Structure 1
Amino acid sequence: MERRKILIATKTYPSISTKYRETVCTAGVLLDDNEQPREWIRIYPIRFRQLDFDQRYPRWSIISANIEKNDKDSRIESYRIDDSSIQILRKIGTEDDWSERKSFVLPLQFQSIQDIKDQGKSLGIIKPKSIIKYYYKKDKREWEDKQKATLDQLDFFEIPSNLEKIPYKFGYEFIENNQVKHKYSINDWEIFELYRKCRDISKKSTLEEREAEALEKVRQKLEIDFLNKKDLYFIVGNLKDHRQTFMIIGLFYPSISKESEPPEPNYTQLNLFDF
Protein backbone atom coordinates (compact mmCIF):
# COMPACT_ATOMS: atom_id res chain seq x y z
CA MET A 1 0.00 0.00 0.00
CA GLU A 2 1.01 3.59 -0.58
CA ARG A 3 0.22 6.57 1.64
CA ARG A 4 -1.66 9.22 -0.33
CA LYS A 5 -3.70 12.36 0.28
CA ILE A 6 -7.38 12.37 -0.68
CA LEU A 7 -10.01 15.10 -0.65
CA ILE A 8 -13.31 13.55 0.50
CA ALA A 9 -16.06 14.87 -1.81
CA THR A 10 -19.02 12.68 -0.90
CA LYS A 11 -20.15 9.56 0.92
CA THR A 12 -23.09 7.37 -0.03
CA TYR A 13 -25.71 6.25 2.44
CA PRO A 14 -24.55 3.02 4.17
CA SER A 15 -25.67 -0.24 2.61
CA ILE A 16 -25.94 -3.75 4.03
CA SER A 17 -23.61 -6.33 2.54
CA THR A 18 -23.55 -10.03 3.42
CA LYS A 19 -19.79 -9.95 2.81
CA TYR A 20 -18.80 -6.64 4.42
CA ARG A 21 -21.83 -6.21 6.71
CA GLU A 22 -22.30 -2.42 6.61
CA THR A 23 -20.41 -0.45 4.01
CA VAL A 24 -20.10 3.09 2.66
CA CYS A 25 -18.75 4.13 -0.72
CA THR A 26 -16.57 7.25 -0.56
CA ALA A 27 -15.72 9.33 -3.62
CA GLY A 28 -13.06 11.96 -3.67
CA VAL A 29 -10.07 13.46 -5.42
CA LEU A 30 -6.61 11.91 -5.30
CA LEU A 31 -4.05 14.64 -4.57
CA ASP A 32 -0.35 14.90 -5.22
CA ASP A 33 2.17 15.75 -2.51
CA ASN A 34 1.44 19.47 -3.01
CA GLU A 35 -2.31 18.87 -2.64
CA GLN A 36 -3.02 19.48 -6.31
CA PRO A 37 -5.91 17.46 -7.83
CA ARG A 38 -4.88 14.44 -9.88
CA GLU A 39 -7.94 12.27 -10.52
CA TRP A 40 -11.16 10.97 -9.07
CA ILE A 41 -10.95 8.08 -6.64
CA ARG A 42 -13.46 5.65 -5.17
CA ILE A 43 -12.79 4.05 -1.77
CA TYR A 44 -14.79 0.90 -1.25
CA PRO A 45 -15.56 -1.00 0.87
CA ILE A 46 -15.22 0.92 4.10
CA ARG A 47 -17.19 0.30 7.29
CA PHE A 48 -17.40 3.96 8.12
CA ARG A 49 -19.46 3.81 11.30
CA GLN A 50 -17.02 1.30 12.78
CA LEU A 51 -14.08 3.65 12.44
CA ASP A 52 -12.68 5.28 15.54
CA PHE A 53 -14.30 8.66 16.08
CA ASP A 54 -11.12 10.56 15.23
CA GLN A 55 -10.96 8.74 11.87
CA ARG A 56 -14.56 9.36 10.73
CA TYR A 57 -13.67 11.84 8.05
CA PRO A 58 -16.29 14.52 7.28
CA ARG A 59 -17.10 15.57 3.78
CA TRP A 60 -14.66 18.13 2.34
CA SER A 61 -11.79 17.03 4.53
CA ILE A 62 -8.34 16.10 3.28
CA ILE A 63 -7.16 12.80 4.67
CA SER A 64 -3.95 10.84 4.48
CA ALA A 65 -4.20 7.05 4.29
CA ASN A 66 -2.62 3.91 2.94
CA ILE A 67 -4.43 2.78 -0.20
CA GLU A 68 -4.02 0.27 -3.02
CA LYS A 69 -5.90 -0.62 -6.18
CA ASN A 70 -8.95 -2.81 -5.51
CA ASP A 71 -8.20 -6.05 -7.35
CA LYS A 72 -11.85 -7.11 -7.01
CA ASP A 73 -13.08 -4.07 -8.93
CA SER A 74 -11.75 -3.33 -12.42
CA ARG A 75 -13.00 0.28 -12.45
CA ILE A 76 -9.83 2.35 -12.57
CA GLU A 77 -10.90 4.72 -9.79
CA SER A 78 -11.54 1.96 -7.24
CA TYR A 79 -9.14 1.57 -4.31
CA ARG A 80 -9.03 -0.20 -0.98
CA ILE A 81 -8.03 1.65 2.17
CA ASP A 82 -6.31 0.59 5.38
CA ASP A 83 -8.82 1.86 7.95
CA SER A 84 -6.25 2.05 10.72
CA SER A 85 -4.02 4.38 8.68
CA ILE A 86 -6.56 7.20 8.23
CA GLN A 87 -5.46 10.64 9.40
CA ILE A 88 -7.65 13.71 8.97
CA LEU A 89 -5.39 16.58 7.95
CA ARG A 90 -7.73 19.54 7.51
CA LYS A 91 -11.24 20.62 6.52
CA ILE A 92 -11.90 22.67 3.38
CA GLY A 93 -14.38 25.45 4.12
CA THR A 94 -16.89 27.44 2.07
CA GLU A 95 -15.13 30.80 2.15
CA ASP A 96 -15.12 33.02 -0.95
CA ASP A 97 -17.97 31.17 -2.69
CA TRP A 98 -16.43 27.73 -2.16
CA SER A 99 -13.32 28.83 -4.08
CA GLU A 100 -10.97 26.26 -2.52
CA ARG A 101 -13.44 23.41 -2.99
CA LYS A 102 -13.89 24.48 -6.61
CA SER A 103 -10.13 24.45 -7.14
CA PHE A 104 -10.06 20.75 -6.28
CA VAL A 105 -13.06 19.38 -8.18
CA LEU A 106 -13.84 21.64 -11.14
CA PRO A 107 -10.53 20.98 -12.97
CA LEU A 108 -11.72 17.35 -13.08
CA GLN A 109 -15.13 18.17 -14.57
CA PHE A 110 -16.53 16.09 -17.45
CA GLN A 111 -18.83 17.44 -20.16
CA SER A 112 -21.37 14.62 -19.89
CA ILE A 113 -21.97 11.03 -18.82
CA GLN A 114 -20.94 9.99 -22.32
CA ASP A 115 -17.69 11.90 -21.88
CA ILE A 116 -17.01 9.88 -18.72
CA LYS A 117 -17.70 6.63 -20.59
CA ASP A 118 -15.64 7.65 -23.63
CA GLN A 119 -12.62 8.20 -21.40
CA GLY A 120 -13.05 4.77 -19.82
CA LYS A 121 -14.00 6.28 -16.49
CA SER A 122 -16.72 5.42 -14.00
CA LEU A 123 -16.74 8.45 -11.71
CA GLY A 124 -16.73 12.22 -12.08
CA ILE A 125 -18.48 15.55 -11.77
CA ILE A 126 -20.79 17.05 -14.40
CA LYS A 127 -22.78 20.26 -14.76
CA PRO A 128 -26.36 19.66 -15.98
CA LYS A 129 -27.50 22.04 -18.70
CA SER A 130 -30.97 22.20 -17.18
CA ILE A 131 -33.01 20.50 -14.48
CA ILE A 132 -36.37 19.22 -15.70
CA LYS A 133 -37.61 18.37 -12.23
CA TYR A 134 -36.79 17.17 -8.76
CA TYR A 135 -38.68 14.05 -7.68
CA TYR A 136 -39.10 11.59 -4.86
CA LYS A 137 -40.75 8.19 -4.76
CA LYS A 138 -41.61 5.59 -2.18
CA ASP A 139 -39.15 2.80 -1.50
CA LYS A 140 -39.29 -0.34 0.62
CA ARG A 141 -39.60 0.35 4.33
CA GLU A 142 -37.63 -2.67 5.45
CA TRP A 143 -34.34 -4.22 4.47
CA GLU A 144 -34.41 -7.41 2.41
CA ASP A 145 -34.43 -10.69 4.35
CA LYS A 146 -30.73 -11.31 3.67
CA GLN A 147 -29.89 -7.80 4.84
CA LYS A 148 -31.98 -8.23 7.98
CA ALA A 149 -30.17 -11.48 8.74
CA THR A 150 -26.85 -9.68 8.37
CA LEU A 151 -27.97 -6.92 10.74
CA ASP A 152 -29.17 -9.48 13.27
CA GLN A 153 -25.71 -11.07 13.29
CA LEU A 154 -23.90 -7.85 14.12
CA ASP A 155 -22.44 -7.57 17.57
CA PHE A 156 -24.06 -4.85 19.69
CA PHE A 157 -20.73 -3.07 20.08
CA GLU A 158 -19.72 -3.50 16.44
CA ILE A 159 -22.08 -0.91 14.92
CA PRO A 160 -22.98 2.35 16.75
CA SER A 161 -26.72 1.95 16.12
CA ASN A 162 -29.14 0.14 13.89
CA LEU A 163 -29.01 1.35 10.32
CA GLU A 164 -32.37 2.79 9.34
CA LYS A 165 -33.91 1.93 6.00
CA ILE A 166 -35.07 5.22 4.46
CA PRO A 167 -38.44 4.52 2.79
CA TYR A 168 -38.03 7.11 0.01
CA LYS A 169 -35.75 7.76 -2.92
CA PHE A 170 -34.86 11.23 -4.16
CA GLY A 171 -33.60 12.31 -7.55
CA TYR A 172 -33.39 14.71 -10.46
CA GLU A 173 -34.47 14.49 -14.07
CA PHE A 174 -32.10 16.63 -16.13
CA ILE A 175 -30.63 17.41 -19.55
CA GLU A 176 -26.91 17.44 -20.25
CA ASN A 177 -24.94 19.71 -22.57
CA ASN A 178 -25.19 17.08 -25.31
CA GLN A 179 -29.01 17.25 -25.01
CA VAL A 180 -29.26 13.75 -23.51
CA LYS A 181 -31.93 13.40 -20.82
CA HIS A 182 -31.39 11.37 -17.64
CA LYS A 183 -33.39 10.51 -14.55
CA TYR A 184 -30.98 9.69 -11.72
CA SER A 185 -31.57 8.82 -8.11
CA ILE A 186 -29.45 10.47 -5.41
CA ASN A 187 -27.51 8.26 -3.01
CA ASP A 188 -25.81 11.08 -1.11
CA TRP A 189 -25.74 10.35 2.66
CA GLU A 190 -26.25 14.07 3.28
CA ILE A 191 -29.69 14.05 1.62
CA PHE A 192 -30.96 10.97 3.45
CA GLU A 193 -29.79 12.47 6.71
CA LEU A 194 -31.59 15.71 5.89
CA TYR A 195 -34.84 13.76 5.49
CA ARG A 196 -34.28 11.78 8.70
CA LYS A 197 -33.43 14.85 10.79
CA CYS A 198 -36.45 16.80 9.50
CA ARG A 199 -38.76 13.89 10.28
CA ASP A 200 -37.34 13.40 13.76
CA ILE A 201 -37.67 17.05 14.79
CA SER A 202 -41.20 17.36 13.39
CA LYS A 203 -43.90 18.13 15.97
CA LYS A 204 -46.64 16.42 13.98
CA SER A 205 -48.59 13.72 15.83
CA THR A 206 -48.45 10.80 13.40
CA LEU A 207 -45.58 9.18 11.50
CA GLU A 208 -47.37 9.84 8.21
CA GLU A 209 -47.58 13.56 8.99
CA ARG A 210 -43.95 13.73 10.15
CA GLU A 211 -42.79 12.01 6.99
CA ALA A 212 -44.90 14.34 4.84
CA GLU A 213 -43.37 17.36 6.56
CA ALA A 214 -39.86 15.97 6.10
CA LEU A 215 -40.48 15.27 2.41
CA GLU A 216 -41.64 18.86 1.95
CA LYS A 217 -38.51 20.20 3.68
CA VAL A 218 -36.29 18.08 1.42
CA ARG A 219 -38.24 19.33 -1.61
CA GLN A 220 -37.73 22.91 -0.48
CA LYS A 221 -34.00 22.33 -0.21
CA LEU A 222 -33.46 20.36 -3.43
CA GLU A 223 -36.01 22.09 -5.64
CA ILE A 224 -36.50 25.64 -4.42
CA ASP A 225 -33.14 26.42 -2.83
CA PHE A 226 -30.79 24.39 -5.02
CA LEU A 227 -32.47 25.17 -8.34
CA ASN A 228 -32.80 28.89 -7.67
CA LYS A 229 -29.85 29.83 -5.49
CA LYS A 230 -27.14 27.24 -6.11
CA ASP A 231 -24.73 26.58 -8.95
CA LEU A 232 -25.54 22.89 -8.96
CA TYR A 233 -23.21 20.09 -10.10
CA PHE A 234 -23.62 16.32 -9.83
CA ILE A 235 -20.94 13.92 -8.67
CA VAL A 236 -21.90 10.75 -10.53
CA GLY A 237 -20.70 7.16 -10.49
CA ASN A 238 -21.71 3.87 -12.03
CA LEU A 239 -22.44 0.48 -10.48
CA LYS A 240 -19.78 -2.21 -10.33
CA ASP A 241 -22.00 -4.91 -11.82
CA HIS A 242 -23.97 -2.59 -14.13
CA ARG A 243 -21.39 -0.32 -15.72
CA GLN A 244 -23.89 1.54 -17.92
CA THR A 245 -26.03 2.51 -14.90
CA PHE A 246 -25.06 5.78 -13.23
CA MET A 247 -26.50 7.59 -10.24
CA ILE A 248 -25.87 10.86 -8.41
CA ILE A 249 -23.63 10.03 -5.46
CA GLY A 250 -23.03 13.59 -4.36
CA LEU A 251 -24.21 17.17 -4.89
CA PHE A 252 -21.83 20.10 -5.30
CA TYR A 253 -23.69 23.35 -4.72
CA PRO A 254 -21.81 26.64 -4.36
CA SER A 255 -24.05 29.70 -4.36
CA ILE A 256 -24.94 31.60 -7.50
CA SER A 257 -23.23 34.97 -7.53
CA LYS A 258 -25.07 37.67 -5.59
CA GLU A 259 -25.63 39.77 -8.71
CA SER A 260 -27.71 37.08 -10.42
CA GLU A 261 -29.30 35.57 -7.33
CA PRO A 262 -33.14 35.62 -7.32
CA PRO A 263 -35.19 36.90 -4.36
CA GLU A 264 -35.16 34.83 -1.18
CA PRO A 265 -37.87 32.11 -1.33
CA ASN A 266 -40.44 32.16 1.46
CA TYR A 267 -39.58 28.97 3.35
CA THR A 268 -37.69 27.86 6.43
CA GLN A 269 -33.96 27.71 5.70
CA LEU A 270 -32.41 24.30 6.32
CA ASN A 271 -28.81 23.32 6.65
CA LEU A 272 -27.31 20.17 5.20
CA PHE A 273 -24.97 18.14 7.30
CA ASP A 274 -21.33 17.22 6.63
CA PHE A 275 -21.23 13.43 6.72
Structure 2
Amino acid sequence: MDTRKILIATKTYPSISKKYRETVCTAGVLLSDDEKPLQWIRIYPIPFRYIDFDQRYPRWSIIEADIERNDKDFREESYRINPNTINIVRKIGTSNNWQERKSLLLPLKFDSIKQIKEQNKSLGIIKPSSINKYYCKPTKREWAPKQQAVLDQQDLFEESVDLEKIPYKFGYEFTSVAGEKHKYSISDWEIMQLYRNCRNNSKANSMEEKEQESLVKVKQKLEELAKNNDLHFIVGNLKNHKNSFMIIGLFYPPIVQSEQLSLF
Protein backbone atom coordinates (compact mmCIF):
# COMPACT_ATOMS: atom_id res chain seq x y z
CA MET A 1 0.00 0.00 0.00
CA ASP A 2 1.06 3.59 -0.67
CA THR A 3 0.42 6.54 1.63
CA ARG A 4 -1.55 9.15 -0.32
CA LYS A 5 -3.57 12.32 0.24
CA ILE A 6 -7.28 12.33 -0.64
CA LEU A 7 -9.96 15.02 -0.59
CA ILE A 8 -13.22 13.54 0.70
CA ALA A 9 -15.95 14.87 -1.62
CA THR A 10 -18.97 12.77 -0.61
CA LYS A 11 -20.12 9.65 1.22
CA THR A 12 -23.11 7.48 0.35
CA TYR A 13 -25.69 6.29 2.87
CA PRO A 14 -24.53 2.98 4.42
CA SER A 15 -25.52 -0.25 2.68
CA ILE A 16 -25.70 -3.75 4.16
CA SER A 17 -22.79 -6.12 3.56
CA LYS A 18 -22.50 -9.79 4.51
CA LYS A 19 -18.76 -9.46 5.02
CA TYR A 20 -18.59 -6.07 6.77
CA ARG A 21 -22.18 -5.84 8.14
CA GLU A 22 -22.42 -2.44 6.48
CA THR A 23 -20.28 -0.40 4.13
CA VAL A 24 -20.05 3.15 2.86
CA CYS A 25 -18.80 4.24 -0.55
CA THR A 26 -16.61 7.34 -0.41
CA ALA A 27 -15.83 9.40 -3.50
CA GLY A 28 -13.03 11.90 -3.52
CA VAL A 29 -10.05 13.31 -5.34
CA LEU A 30 -6.60 11.78 -5.24
CA LEU A 31 -4.11 14.57 -4.55
CA SER A 32 -0.42 15.05 -5.17
CA ASP A 33 1.87 15.61 -2.20
CA ASP A 34 1.44 19.37 -2.68
CA GLU A 35 -2.37 18.91 -2.82
CA LYS A 36 -3.03 19.32 -6.54
CA PRO A 37 -5.97 17.30 -7.98
CA LEU A 38 -4.91 14.22 -9.95
CA GLN A 39 -7.96 11.99 -10.48
CA TRP A 40 -11.25 10.83 -9.00
CA ILE A 41 -11.03 8.01 -6.48
CA ARG A 42 -13.57 5.62 -4.97
CA ILE A 43 -12.79 4.20 -1.51
CA TYR A 44 -14.71 0.97 -1.06
CA PRO A 45 -15.47 -1.00 0.99
CA ILE A 46 -15.17 0.74 4.34
CA PRO A 47 -17.33 0.02 7.43
CA PHE A 48 -17.33 3.73 8.24
CA ARG A 49 -19.47 3.72 11.39
CA TYR A 50 -17.40 0.88 12.87
CA ILE A 51 -13.95 2.44 12.54
CA ASP A 52 -12.39 4.45 15.36
CA PHE A 53 -14.16 7.74 15.95
CA ASP A 54 -11.00 9.82 15.38
CA GLN A 55 -10.63 8.29 11.92
CA ARG A 56 -14.20 8.94 10.72
CA TYR A 57 -13.34 11.59 8.19
CA PRO A 58 -15.89 14.38 7.60
CA ARG A 59 -16.85 15.57 4.15
CA TRP A 60 -14.49 18.19 2.70
CA SER A 61 -11.53 16.99 4.71
CA ILE A 62 -8.13 16.09 3.31
CA ILE A 63 -6.95 12.79 4.71
CA GLU A 64 -3.71 10.86 4.46
CA ALA A 65 -3.93 7.06 4.46
CA ASP A 66 -2.51 3.85 3.04
CA ILE A 67 -4.42 2.78 -0.08
CA GLU A 68 -4.11 0.30 -2.94
CA ARG A 69 -6.04 -0.51 -6.10
CA ASN A 70 -9.03 -2.76 -5.49
CA ASP A 71 -8.17 -5.70 -7.75
CA LYS A 72 -11.69 -7.12 -7.36
CA ASP A 73 -13.23 -4.05 -9.00
CA PHE A 74 -12.59 -3.39 -12.71
CA ARG A 75 -13.29 0.34 -12.29
CA GLU A 76 -9.94 2.11 -12.32
CA GLU A 77 -10.98 4.67 -9.69
CA SER A 78 -11.69 1.99 -7.05
CA TYR A 79 -9.23 1.65 -4.16
CA ARG A 80 -9.07 -0.10 -0.81
CA ILE A 81 -8.01 1.78 2.31
CA ASN A 82 -6.44 0.68 5.57
CA PRO A 83 -8.73 2.42 8.11
CA ASN A 84 -6.10 2.18 10.84
CA THR A 85 -3.80 4.52 8.90
CA ILE A 86 -6.31 7.34 8.34
CA ASN A 87 -5.04 10.73 9.44
CA ILE A 88 -7.26 13.78 8.98
CA VAL A 89 -4.90 16.51 7.75
CA ARG A 90 -7.26 19.48 7.52
CA LYS A 91 -10.77 20.62 6.58
CA ILE A 92 -11.55 22.63 3.44
CA GLY A 93 -13.89 25.52 4.23
CA THR A 94 -16.29 27.66 2.19
CA SER A 95 -14.42 30.98 2.22
CA ASN A 96 -14.23 33.09 -0.94
CA ASN A 97 -17.33 31.43 -2.48
CA TRP A 98 -15.99 27.89 -1.98
CA GLN A 99 -12.89 28.74 -4.00
CA GLU A 100 -10.58 26.05 -2.59
CA ARG A 101 -13.19 23.33 -2.96
CA LYS A 102 -13.81 24.40 -6.56
CA SER A 103 -10.08 24.44 -7.30
CA LEU A 104 -9.81 20.78 -6.25
CA LEU A 105 -12.98 19.42 -7.91
CA LEU A 106 -13.74 21.41 -11.04
CA PRO A 107 -10.45 20.73 -12.91
CA LEU A 108 -11.76 17.13 -13.05
CA LYS A 109 -15.21 18.09 -14.38
CA PHE A 110 -16.80 16.24 -17.31
CA ASP A 111 -19.24 17.76 -19.80
CA SER A 112 -21.74 14.93 -19.54
CA ILE A 113 -22.41 11.32 -18.60
CA LYS A 114 -21.75 10.53 -22.24
CA GLN A 115 -18.22 11.89 -21.94
CA ILE A 116 -17.60 9.90 -18.74
CA LYS A 117 -18.62 6.71 -20.56
CA GLU A 118 -16.59 7.55 -23.67
CA GLN A 119 -13.48 7.90 -21.52
CA ASN A 120 -14.28 4.59 -19.81
CA LYS A 121 -14.57 6.27 -16.42
CA SER A 122 -16.96 5.39 -13.62
CA LEU A 123 -16.82 8.49 -11.44
CA GLY A 124 -16.91 12.23 -12.03
CA ILE A 125 -18.61 15.57 -11.59
CA ILE A 126 -20.94 17.22 -14.10
CA LYS A 127 -23.01 20.39 -14.27
CA PRO A 128 -26.47 19.78 -15.72
CA SER A 129 -27.60 22.05 -18.54
CA SER A 130 -31.03 22.21 -16.92
CA ILE A 131 -32.82 20.55 -14.02
CA ASN A 132 -36.28 19.59 -15.16
CA LYS A 133 -37.77 18.15 -12.00
CA TYR A 134 -37.10 17.02 -8.45
CA TYR A 135 -38.77 13.74 -7.56
CA CYS A 136 -39.46 11.61 -4.51
CA LYS A 137 -41.00 8.16 -4.44
CA PRO A 138 -41.70 5.68 -1.62
CA THR A 139 -39.65 2.50 -1.28
CA LYS A 140 -39.88 -0.50 1.03
CA ARG A 141 -39.98 0.42 4.70
CA GLU A 142 -38.15 -2.61 6.02
CA TRP A 143 -34.93 -4.32 5.08
CA ALA A 144 -35.31 -7.60 3.22
CA PRO A 145 -35.15 -10.63 5.57
CA LYS A 146 -31.63 -11.56 4.44
CA GLN A 147 -30.44 -7.98 4.99
CA GLN A 148 -32.04 -7.81 8.43
CA ALA A 149 -30.39 -11.11 9.34
CA VAL A 150 -27.00 -9.54 8.63
CA LEU A 151 -27.81 -6.57 10.87
CA ASP A 152 -29.02 -8.90 13.63
CA GLN A 153 -25.77 -10.85 13.78
CA GLN A 154 -24.07 -10.55 17.15
CA ASP A 155 -20.39 -9.73 17.43
CA LEU A 156 -18.57 -10.59 20.64
CA PHE A 157 -16.07 -7.77 20.17
CA GLU A 158 -18.11 -5.03 18.51
CA GLU A 159 -21.34 -3.35 19.52
CA SER A 160 -24.00 -3.30 16.80
CA VAL A 161 -25.14 0.07 15.42
CA ASP A 162 -28.71 0.45 14.18
CA LEU A 163 -29.08 1.22 10.47
CA GLU A 164 -32.38 2.82 9.53
CA LYS A 165 -34.05 1.92 6.26
CA ILE A 166 -35.01 5.18 4.55
CA PRO A 167 -38.49 4.55 3.05
CA TYR A 168 -38.13 7.13 0.27
CA LYS A 169 -35.94 7.68 -2.75
CA PHE A 170 -35.00 11.22 -3.79
CA GLY A 171 -33.66 12.37 -7.13
CA TYR A 172 -33.53 14.78 -10.06
CA GLU A 173 -34.62 14.62 -13.67
CA PHE A 174 -32.16 16.71 -15.69
CA THR A 175 -30.69 17.38 -19.11
CA SER A 176 -26.94 17.27 -19.69
CA VAL A 177 -24.84 19.61 -21.82
CA ALA A 178 -24.85 16.86 -24.47
CA GLY A 179 -28.66 17.05 -24.61
CA GLU A 180 -29.21 13.71 -22.84
CA LYS A 181 -32.12 13.42 -20.44
CA HIS A 182 -31.50 11.54 -17.19
CA LYS A 183 -33.46 10.52 -14.11
CA TYR A 184 -31.01 9.76 -11.30
CA SER A 185 -31.61 8.91 -7.68
CA ILE A 186 -29.49 10.50 -4.95
CA SER A 187 -27.54 8.29 -2.53
CA ASP A 188 -25.73 11.16 -0.78
CA TRP A 189 -25.64 10.50 2.98
CA GLU A 190 -26.24 14.22 3.65
CA ILE A 191 -29.63 14.14 1.91
CA MET A 192 -30.72 11.02 3.79
CA GLN A 193 -29.66 12.66 7.04
CA LEU A 194 -31.54 15.82 6.08
CA TYR A 195 -34.72 13.75 5.80
CA ARG A 196 -34.08 12.06 9.16
CA ASN A 197 -33.30 15.35 10.92
CA CYS A 198 -36.43 17.05 9.56
CA ARG A 199 -38.60 14.11 10.62
CA ASN A 200 -37.03 13.74 14.06
CA ASN A 201 -37.30 17.49 14.77
CA SER A 202 -40.91 17.72 13.60
CA LYS A 203 -43.52 18.77 16.18
CA ALA A 204 -46.31 16.95 14.31
CA ASN A 205 -48.40 14.45 16.27
CA SER A 206 -48.23 11.31 14.15
CA MET A 207 -45.32 9.63 12.37
CA GLU A 208 -47.17 9.98 9.08
CA GLU A 209 -47.45 13.75 9.60
CA LYS A 210 -43.79 13.96 10.62
CA GLU A 211 -42.75 12.14 7.44
CA GLN A 212 -44.91 14.29 5.18
CA GLU A 213 -43.54 17.45 6.77
CA SER A 214 -39.97 16.24 6.29
CA LEU A 215 -40.63 15.33 2.64
CA VAL A 216 -41.83 18.88 2.00
CA LYS A 217 -38.67 20.29 3.59
CA VAL A 218 -36.37 17.99 1.59
CA LYS A 219 -38.21 18.99 -1.60
CA GLN A 220 -37.81 22.68 -0.71
CA LYS A 221 -34.09 22.23 -0.03
CA LEU A 222 -33.33 20.34 -3.24
CA GLU A 223 -35.38 22.75 -5.35
CA GLU A 224 -33.66 25.73 -3.71
CA LEU A 225 -30.23 24.26 -4.48
CA ALA A 226 -31.23 23.82 -8.12
CA LYS A 227 -32.54 27.38 -8.35
CA ASN A 228 -30.19 29.42 -6.18
CA ASN A 229 -26.82 27.62 -6.29
CA ASP A 230 -24.27 26.58 -8.89
CA LEU A 231 -25.39 22.97 -8.56
CA HIS A 232 -23.16 20.14 -9.80
CA PHE A 233 -23.66 16.38 -9.48
CA ILE A 234 -20.96 13.97 -8.34
CA VAL A 235 -21.96 10.81 -10.18
CA GLY A 236 -20.83 7.20 -10.11
CA ASN A 237 -21.87 3.98 -11.77
CA LEU A 238 -22.75 0.57 -10.36
CA LYS A 239 -20.10 -2.14 -10.38
CA ASN A 240 -22.36 -4.76 -11.96
CA HIS A 241 -24.18 -2.29 -14.24
CA LYS A 242 -21.52 0.00 -15.65
CA ASN A 243 -23.97 2.05 -17.74
CA SER A 244 -26.22 2.80 -14.75
CA PHE A 245 -25.22 5.96 -12.88
CA MET A 246 -26.59 7.70 -9.81
CA ILE A 247 -25.94 10.97 -8.01
CA ILE A 248 -23.68 10.13 -5.09
CA GLY A 249 -23.07 13.71 -3.99
CA LEU A 250 -24.26 17.28 -4.51
CA PHE A 251 -21.78 20.13 -4.97
CA TYR A 252 -23.49 23.49 -4.62
CA PRO A 253 -21.24 26.56 -4.31
CA PRO A 254 -22.97 29.94 -4.41
CA ILE A 255 -23.56 31.55 -7.77
CA VAL A 256 -20.95 34.25 -8.33
CA GLN A 257 -22.33 37.19 -10.27
CA SER A 258 -20.01 38.34 -13.05
CA GLU A 259 -18.47 41.67 -12.27
CA GLN A 260 -19.88 44.33 -14.54
CA LEU A 261 -17.52 46.76 -16.23
CA SER A 262 -17.91 50.27 -14.92
CA LEU A 263 -18.09 53.20 -17.31
CA PHE A 264 -16.36 55.29 -14.68
Match of 2:233 in 1: 234
Partners of 1:105 and 1:154 lie apart in 2 by: 41
Query: Structure 1, residues 66-115: CA drift from partner, whole Å, max 9, x if none?
Result: 00000110100000000100000000000011000000000000010010
The amino acid that maps onto 1:82 is: N
Match of 2:52 in 1: 52
SS in structure 1 of the partner of residue 233 of structure 2: strand
After TM superposition, give the deviation of residue 157 of structure 1 in Å. 6.5
Question: Matches of residues 188-267 of structure 1 in structure 2 within 5 Å?
Answer: 188-223=188-223, 225-257=224-256
Judged with a 3 Å threshold, the aligned counterparts in structure 2 of structure 1 residues 202 and 51 are, in CA distance, closer, same or farther, namely same
CA contact (8 A) 2:230 2:254 kept: yes
After TM superposition, give the deviation of residue 49 of structure 1 in Å. 0.2
Match of 2:93 in 1: 93
Match of 1:71 in 2: 71
The amino acid that maps onto 1:57 is: Y
SS in structure 1 of the partner of residue 137 of structure 2: strand
The yes-or-no answer on 1:13 pairing with 2:23 is no
CA contact (8 A) 2:8 2:27 kept: yes
The yes-or-no answer on 1:171 pairing with 2:171 is yes
After TM superposition, give the deviation of residue 159 of structure 1 in Å. 5.0
The count of corresponding residues between Structure 1 and Structure 2 is: 259
Judged with a 3 Å threshold, the aligned counterparts in structure 2 of structure 1 residues 169 and 156 are, in CA distance, closer, same or farther, namely farther
After TM superposition, give the deviation of residue 229 of structure 1 in Å. 1.1
CA contact (8 A) 1:49 1:160 kept: no
After TM superposition, give the deviation of residue 120 of structure 1 in Å. 1.0
Judged with a 3 Å threshold, the aligned counterparts in structure 2 of structure 1 residues 146 and 4 are, in CA distance, closer, same or farther, namely same
Partners of 1:146 and 1:44 lie apart in 2 by: 22
Partners of 1:199 and 1:12 lie apart in 2 by: 20
Runs of 4+ in 1 over 6 A off after TM superposition: none
After TM superposition, give the deviation of residue 18 of structure 1 in Å. 1.4
After TM superposition, give the deviation of residue 206 of structure 1 in Å. 0.3
SS in structure 2 of the partner of residue 211 of structure 1: helix
CA contact (8 A) 1:29 1:41 kept: yes
After TM superposition, give the deviation of residue 259 of structure 1 in Å. 7.2
Partners of 2:50 and 2:42 lie apart in 1 by: 19
SS in structure 2 of the partner of residue 110 of structure 1: coil
Partners of 1:205 and 1:84 lie apart in 2 by: 44
CA contact (8 A) 1:75 1:122 kept: yes
The amino acid that maps onto 2:21 is: R
The amino acid that maps onto 2:126 is: I
The yes-or-no answer on 1:32 pairing with 2:32 is yes
CA contact (8 A) 1:126 1:233 kept: yes
Partners of 1:75 and 1:174 lie apart in 2 by: 25
SS in structure 2 of the partner of residue 46 of structure 1: coil
Match of 1:180 in 2: 180
Q: Percent of counterpart pairs with the same letter?
A: 67
CA contact (8 A) 2:154 2:160 kept: no
The amino acid that maps onto 1:177 is: V
Judged with a 3 Å threshold, the aligned counterparts in structure 2 of structure 1 residues 179 and 156 are, in CA distance, closer, same or farther, namely farther
Partners of 1:122 and 1:20 lie apart in 2 by: 23
After TM superposition, give the deviation of residue 257 of structure 1 in Å. 2.4
Judged with a 3 Å threshold, the aligned counterparts in structure 2 of structure 1 residues 159 and 177 are, in CA distance, closer, same or farther, namely farther
| TM-score, normalised relative to structure 2 | 0.96
Partners of 1:88 and 1:160 lie apart in 2 by: 25
After TM superposition, give the deviation of residue 17 of structure 1 in Å. 1.1
Judged with a 3 Å threshold, the aligned counterparts in structure 2 of structure 1 residues 227 and 161 are, in CA distance, closer, same or farther, namely same
Match of 1:127 in 2: 127
The yes-or-no answer on 1:114 pairing with 2:114 is yes
CA contact (8 A) 1:235 1:250 kept: yes
CA contact (8 A) 1:18 1:146 kept: no
